[in-house]
Structure 1
Amino acid sequence: METVNTKKFTELFSDLERCNKEEQKQKILEMNEAMEEMDEKEFKSVFTTELFDKICRMIEERKIYLKDSILMLKHVGYFNVLKCACINCFENSSLKKKVGEIIIEEEHKKEEKNEKIFVDLCKCYISLSYNIPPELRSICVLCLLKAALNKEESEEVQKEVEMALLALSNIGIWKEIERKQYLNEITEIVRNHQKHRNLTHLAYLSAWRFFINRFFFNEDLESVIENELHFAREATRELEDLMKCVDWKKKEEEMSREETKYVNISERWIQKLNPYIESCRLRSKEYAKLIRSIVQVFRVAKDNHREIRNQCIYSLRNAAISRALKIDGLLENEAVGVILEEIQQPTLNDKATCECLSFFIAISWRLEEGEEDEADEAKRKATKRKAFDKIEEEGYEDITTSFHELMPYFSSITENDIPSEGSSVLFVHL
């Protein structure tokens, strides 16, 4: 069913072939505005394989100027990533092949190369593609990183930088890229922002999303990410800044567009922390502060933003399992406290329940085994007693008893291994 936004876009698109150059550009600017208003469902309903094929034919038949088509397509890609629409229709369209061919042609030009068109085409291709041939991936990554290094402070330039980094963030963790193709550039982008604070919140997040996605294949990057670029410190700073930009007491539908934007960026930060938390082995004060920041996000978001709340639970569960933070740290930074509060909520869904139980089972195993670098048995017993006192104080023993018979069910609906005897591990060994 057509909505106001989709109808407006469709009508404007239908008029493009009958317009002169100036009229065509104006209509495309209006179409970009209509895109911004669309929700994920509307966006997917408009951008079909048929639409992309038609754009390709219009370019080939010169019914739309290439420059104007790019102006539209780079916004399609931008909002595709921003709205997490994940439209797959570009993959099977003739337009994908066409754009890829033009990129390669531009790359091989020795003279008269239009750098802006080249950069914009790379933005379109990367932000709309999921299966990217190695040659095009290499060309586009280098091009977009170079574009993102632009240090001009004008609003127009910073918007283009944001688009370039957002496109790069669309390259998932399964796309392996050689370190030499990105490491120096992305490091310079991050360091420059740390010195001058020149990127938007979304651009800086996108730079880190691209970098952390590379961490999946290169765990030896941990020293660069944590010791040189201080990811935990930077993520903490960003989360704290973003929390100040939102009135979290409002329901989602009551928020302004600006507040909604900051909520979405906060959610993306929490999501991207998980692969880092899962793989991180460095223990530092910065990491401990990051866990406390996640707890703070959980507290402000738990009433009106269910998805962020669930992502925070998952992050804290991973922190308990990863051992990058001692159990004392989890207690001191209130991670244990918020999970205890959450598991007693009557509205908790099955998935969140699994994550909460996994959190406590991980702590139980760690208390039994002892921390890897903790040789002092008396200290280990004191930590166990401290954890037990906190859990007993909140009534967790009664909760685990009530969940004991349901453990096999929760194990069956999650990827996590939750043994049926796990709920009593903590108390057996105290």
Structure 2
Amino acid sequence: MNKPLALLGGTPLCQQSWPQWPQSSATTRRHLDAVLDSHRWSISGQYRGEPSWEERFGKAFAQYTGAGHCVPASTGTASLTMALEACGVGAHDEVIVPGVSWVASASAVLGINAIPVLVDVDPHTGCLDPARVEQALSPRTRAITVVHLGSAVAELEQLCRIASDRGIPLIEDCAQAHGARYAGRHVGTFGAAGTFSMQHSKLLTSGEGGAVITDDASLARRLAHLRADGRILAETAPSIDEMELVETAELMGSNYCLSEFHAAILIAQLELLDQQLAVRRTNAHRLDALLRSLGFFPQETSAGTTARAHYTYVVRLPEDLLERAPIARLGAALGAELGLPCKTMYASLNRNRLYQPASRPRFDLGREFADAVRPERYALPAAEAFSAATLALPHRMLLADAQAIEQVAAAFEKVAANAHQLCD
């Protein structure tokens, strides 16, 4: 298959239009109109005689995941920050953070003046390696955070055992895993808390947004205080035009509230989620088989996974292909054939240019702290290898039809066969 690559002026293999993201429905528009007409655009606005959209979404998402409680938040980063603080993490405490993740996994820990301890990952899933966690624990470890990455679910059975044996809370970062299940249960329900992001690219999105789920009522109460400047929703409905948030003076918080517009969108989007997940799973299963037959390695997941959620479709490239062309060029060539962004995976956090604690004066808390949070002090060979060999394709690709999925595999085959052109 010696053909000019589209990146270099050849004809793109795929000419079709791909599904767009985010997607909305008539229900989404009705909900937004309802918020506009309600004259209450935030939970900190005056009560209008009916439950807020934020409260409705919290109940709906708790029911969807099977969690006892859900506290919505403004972003995924805010959700993780709230969960860490609610679990008692504070200044100079250590928090286990997986070596491959979006930068917020580490920066949220820094944001509460705690120390992110970067820990290596499983080479096949890219998720936190339980064996490495045990080696990294210290008397100062106050929490373990685990990220379900791409389309993989981490090894929760072992991580839960480690956390339980040591009396350390496990916080699941499910920003990329809405609807994924392990041992038949929704991710986010295994640890002390599960955090979610509803940012633009996420599987459940309102542009920006987040949530924390938990089965612990006292933890949920702390989360509620942390997200609304130390206020919580009143136990009984107030009079019209009165505030529904009441000041308890139990715990000082911050403003991480989700707006009524975002909450209304999320309730509508939640109705679409399972159907979209099912389409992605079917297409991903088909693409897995096609790519394996061509010598590529789709991202694996832990043995206990019972349902995957494909935030990105992650593929490890074979060594001989990586020897013939740089991975960034291979991703660009694949993207040009498909008309889709095909990006390299996040750089490991010890080498990630977005993770630079020394660039923020607020983290200048003395020499010992500065040395502890210096990312290059951590050796993460598996994380570095995973990042250096994998490409991530957007989940909207998996909402296309079966013929389009075959074209994705054909594009991989074309780029691999003509990789020599990328070095000319």
* TM-score bucket of the superposed structures, by smaller chain: under 0.3
TM-score normalised by length of structure 1: 0.23
Task: Give TM-score, length-normalised by structure 2.
Answer: 0.23
With CA pairs under 8 Å and 6+ residues apart, which has the higher RCO, 1 or 2?
2
